[in-house]
Amino acid sequence: LEPSCWITSGFRRNREDAVIRVFKVNKHIIRMFGSSGLVHNHLRSAVLRSLSTQLGTSAAAPTNAESVECVVIGAGVVGLACARALAQAGKEVVVVEQHNTFGQETSSRHSEVIHAGLYYPPGSLKAQLCVRGKQLMYEYCAARGVAHKRVTKLVVATDKEQEAGLRALRERAAACGVTDLVPMSGAEARALEPALSATAAVLSPSTGIVDSHGLMQALLGDLEQAGGVMAVAS
């Protein structure tokens, strides 16, 4: 951050929309429109040098440091969600990201599953966060237009000996607050998935998938709406 300059980027929901970078130096604003992607650092530097020359300021080479209340390192799903919450709570927030855009590591290299919360020990933090987080995720995606779907999941027993495990799974899930599991016979499971070899099954209606890129775009939009910024290639 520089004392006479702030930078922000605005993403629209469609990836093909233009990205807007706004540079403010001594109350002068320049808006630059480009194709999808971020404005490169050399372009930013060129603009600051140009404004510095025109305005007679030291914008290109500031000498004073600027303070900020909160710095979040990493613009993945977790980082953006934390930064969004801080900004919406009224904090001054900057997210620093080593890559040229958000979500370039773990957040774009996973299965994009919204887990129901079946397997964690009852009372554990994982169980609490998964079950509550699942509900919040569906609500947020619906409110912000993020692509998602409740695809459901079948957990099957392939022989009679495994059916006790299914009963234990249902009991553990219920203790964690997952009360929507549906017990099924082998025939009922095969009606959904004919290729299955199962003697019994449990259907999880709240297991789903989410577009992680769209989710991060929405989180970033909320962050910037609340006054936060993301600094890339940092």
* pLDDT tens per residue, range 45-98: 444 454 445 445 444 444 455 788 999 999 999 999 999 999 999 999 999 999
In this prediction, what percent of the chain has a pLDDT beyond 70? Answer: 72
- Distance of alpha carbon 6 from alpha carbon 42, whole angstroms: 16
Q: Are 149 and 188 in contact (CB under 8 A)?
A: no
Would you give the DSSP letter of residue 121?
P
Identify the pLDDT of residue 64: 53
What average pLDDT score do residues 221-227 get?
A: 97
- Distance of alpha carbon 228 from alpha carbon 8, whole angstroms: 8
In this prediction, what percent of the chain has a pLDDT beyond 90? Answer: 70
Q: Are 88 and 222 in contact (CB under 8 A)?
A: yes
Please give the residue that has the higher pLDDT: either 234 or 230. Answer: 230
Please give the residue that has the higher pLDDT: either 25 or 159. Answer: 159
pTM of the shown model: 0.70
- Distance of alpha carbon 131 from alpha carbon 43, whole angstroms: 45
Identify the pLDDT of residue 112: 96
Average pLDDT of the residues of the chain: 80
Helical H segments across 69-203, by residue range: 77-88, 125-144, 163-175, 186-192
